[in-house]
Amino acid sequence: MTKNFFWPARVYYEDTDAASVVYYANYLKYLERARTEWLRALGFDQGALMARFDQGALMARTGLGFAVRSISAEYLKPARLDDALQVISRIESHGRVQVVFDQRIERGEQTLLTAKVRIACMDLNRGKAAPMPLDIYQQFEKLT
């Protein structure tokens, strides 16, 4: 099992600003989509996660999801209209409640952005942090 996840992205007109470069906030969307697709590739759909049965606790857990707790990003070079990008993600560290992703966006051999993203598992009904499901935690364990 590879410890890095690669997700391709293309820069569309809607992603750019008046100078035809990617608007800074849209890089965060690319990072989010890559994390979501990685979770999906591991067999976990976020929509289903919000209403799944946790057999370990023998109770229904609804409204469970992931939320960004903090992010640190370095914008190194601009991406432009029609660029083919690669978002590379890896898990730097994790616990039962949070995971830190090391992510970067590349165009060919050039690194355009590097980021550290801290994600918390949340009980969305209570608005509080909650342990992530054991099966997801175990998958993350294999990837660190």
Catalytic residues: 17
Amino acid at residue number 91: I
What backbone phi and psi angles, to 5 degrees, belong to 125?
-70, -40
| Core vs surface per residue 40-67: b (16+ CB within 10 A) or e | eeeebeeeebeeeeeeeeeeebeebebe
Contact 97, 12 (CB under 8 A): no
User: In a 3-state reduction of DSSP, which class is residue 66?
Assistant: strand
Q: Which of 85, 118, 90 is nearest to 103 (CA)?
A: 90
Residue 22: strand pairing partners: 16
**Measured between alpha carbons, how far is 99 from 123 in angstroms, rounded to an integer?**
15
